[in-house]
Amino acid sequence: MSEASSPDSRRRHSAPVVDGVNKAASRAMLRAVGFEDADFKKPQVGIASTWSMVTPCNSHINKLADVARTGADEAGGKGVIFNTITISDGIANGTEGMKYSLVSREVIADSIETVAGCEGFDGLVAIGGCDKNMPGCMIGLARLNRPGVFVYGGTILPGAGHTDIISVFEAVGAHAKGDMSLIDVKQVEETAIPGPGACGGMYTANTMASAIEALGMSLPNSSAQNAVSDNKREDCKAAGAAVLKLLERDIKPSDIMTRKAFENAITVIIALGGSTNAVLHLIAMANAIGVELSLDDFTAIGKRVPVLADLRPSGHYMMSELVEIGGIQPLMKMLLDAGLLHGDCLTVTGRTLAENLADAAPYPENQQIIMPLDKPIKGESHLRILYGNLAPEGAVAKITGKEGTHFSGRARVFGSEEEAQERILDGTVVAGDVLVIRYEGPRGGPGMREMLSPTSAIMGRGLGSEVALITDGRFSGGSHGFVVGHITPEAFDGGPLALVEDGDEIVIDAVADSIDLKIDDAEMKRRRSAWQQPQPRYRRGVLAKYARAVSSASTGAVTDLPE
C-alpha cells in the first residue's frame, strides 16, 4: 500500500480510514474479515441489515443483505454487512414491552449513523422489514447524507382463509363477545402467519415502504414485492449496484428528499389509505434531512387527493394481491398524469420520477383493488388532522368514512392501555362511549404505544361504529374504527386530555376536523389548577432517556429536534 492513494471522489469517507502506511492497523483488522489488497481501493458500501429471529417481518433479511452485498461488489464496490435492531409490534402489542416500539426507530437511526460514521462507509444500502425499521433506516440515511438506497424486505403472503395478524387480534375480541370458540381462535393463530414478510395489509410497514418508494429513495417496485421472491432478491442486488452509480454522480439523500418529494410521499399514502403512523414518521424523516413539514401539510394535500385503494384494514385486499397487479407504479403513473405528483423529483435511479414512470403499464382491466380517480373510495384524505380544545396542537385521525364522520359520546377515561383493554373485553365499554386512553404519549408512556389490542377488541366485539377511542398514544396501521391518536399536547405535559372526567361529552367531527370537550372555560380552568403531573414511570434506562429527549408527536416524536 502506497503512502497516499490517488484521489477518488467516491471514497471520500473510506480513504481516511484505510489509505496510507499510518492506516496499516485499520487494514490489518479488515483483512481478518475478508478484505484483500484490491478492496482497499474500492468504495465501501455499508449494508445495514435488520435481520432478526424476533419477527417474521425480518427473519429473511440476512439472505437479502448477502444479495445486496453481492450487487455492490459486482458493481465495483466493497460491501460490508452490519446489523441494527428490530422489535416486533405484533408480538409486543398490549404489553409494557410495546413502549420500546417507537424508541426502536431512534435506536435504529442512531446505530446506522454510528456504524457508518465510525467505519467510513462511502455509501449505504439499508434493508428494513418491520414498520419502525423503515423510518429508522431513513432517518439514519438522512443524517449521514451519503449516497444510499433503502430496500423493503417485502410483504408476507396471506394466511389460510385470507387471514393476517389483524385477524388474530380481532379473533380475541370475537371470543370475548362469544362469537368464536377457543378452538377457532387457535386455528386462526396457527395459520394466519405463513412465513417471512411484513404484515400483509396497508398497515404501517407497507405504508412506509410505499412512501419511501414515492419519495424516490427506493428503486421502482421495491415497496410491492413478496418477501420471499426472485423479484425481491433482484431488488436487493440492484440496490447494491445503484449505490455505486449514486457515488459516481455524488447524488445524496438531500438531493432526493426534497419538499416536493415529501409531498409525493404524502399523496401516495393517502391514495393507498395508509397508516396514521406515516404522519409521525414522515415528519421525523423530514426533520432529519432539514425539510419543513407539518401536520397541516397533510390536510392541504388531503383536500385534493382521494383514497383509491381497497386495502386492509378498512378494505378487502392485501398487499400481496396489489403486488400481483403491478404494485404502486401504475397508481403513481395515474396520479402523475392527473397532476397530483411532482414528476421532476430526482430518485435513486439517477432519473426523475416522471422518467421512472414513463413506461409503467396500467393496471389490468376489471381489477378491483385500485379505483379510478373518478370513482374513488373516498373523495379526499382519510388522514384527518383535528384541532380543538382537546387537541390545541393537533391530533391525527384515520377516518375512511365507513365508520361515519361524526361521533358524539360520553367519556370513559383510562390511565393506561391495559386498563382499557380489560374493560372492553369484560363488557364494561358499551355503545356511545368515547374511550379516553391517556398518559400513553411519547413522554408519558413513555414511548407512545400503539392501541392495536383495544381497537381490535372493539372491532371483535362488534362495536366498531358505536364506540370511539381517543388517545395521546398512536395506532397500528392495522387499527380501524373511529379512532383519534397523537393528541397534543399529551396528557403527561398537562394537555387537555389530562383533564377529561368520566361522563364528559366529547364531540369529534371529521368534516370540520375538530375534537372538543364540552365543558366551559371556567371548568377547564378549575380542573387545570387541580391537576398534578404524574411521576415518570421510568427513571433509568432507555425509556427514561427517551422520555427526557423526545419531542411532541406533532413534531414527529424525534430525539434530536434542533433547539
Positions marked active-site = 476
Report which of 465, 460, 420, 480 is spatially closest to residue 171, judged by C-alpha positions.
460
What is the rounded distance in angstroms from the CA atom of residue 76 to the CA atom of residue 78?
7
Strands 505-509 vs 514-517: parallel, antiparallel or unpaired: antiparallel
Report residue 385 as a C-alpha cell: 388532522
**Exposure letters 254-290 (e unless 16+ CB within 10 A, then b):** ebbbbeebbbbbbbbbbbbbbbbbbbbbbbbbbbbbe
How many other β-carbons are positioned within 10 Å of the β-carbon of residue 23? Answer: 17
Beta strands in 438-481 (DSSP E): 468-471
Picking from 333, 91, 305, the residue whose alpha carbon sits closest to that of residue 189 is: 91
Torsion, CA 533, CA 534, CA 535, CA 537, rounded to 10 = -130
C-alpha cell at 257: 428528499
Nearest to 311 by CA among 213, 202, 208: 202
d(C-alpha 234, C-alpha 68), whole Å: 9
How far is Cα 388 from Cα 166, in angstroms, rounded to an integer?
31
Neighbours of 12 (CB within 10 A): 15
Reduced 3-state DSSP string for 346-381 = ECCCCCEHHHHHCCCCCCCCCCCCECCCCCCCECCC
Residue 200: DSSP 8-state? S
- Coil vs helix vs strand at 60: coil
With CA atoms as reference, report the closest residue to 151 among 271, 276, 235, 275.
Answer: 235
Q: Which of 295, 518, 293 is nearest to 389 (CA)?
A: 518
149/237 Cα distance (integer angstroms): 11
- The answer to whether residues 253 and 137 touch, using CB atoms and an 8 Å cutoff, is no
d(CA 170, CA 185): 9
Q: Three-state DSSP class for 80?
A: strand
Q: Residue 74 belongs to what H/E stretch?
A: helix 61-74
Q: What are phi and psi of 88, to 5 degrees?
A: -120, 110
At 154, list the grid cell. Answer: 417485502
Residue the block writes with cell 443483505:
65
Per-residue DSSP letter, 26 = H
Cα 472 from Cα 437, distance rounded (Å): 7
Cα 72 from Cα 67, distance rounded (Å)? 9
Q: Which bin fits 532, alpha (ψ -120 to 50), beta or left (φ > 0)?
A: beta
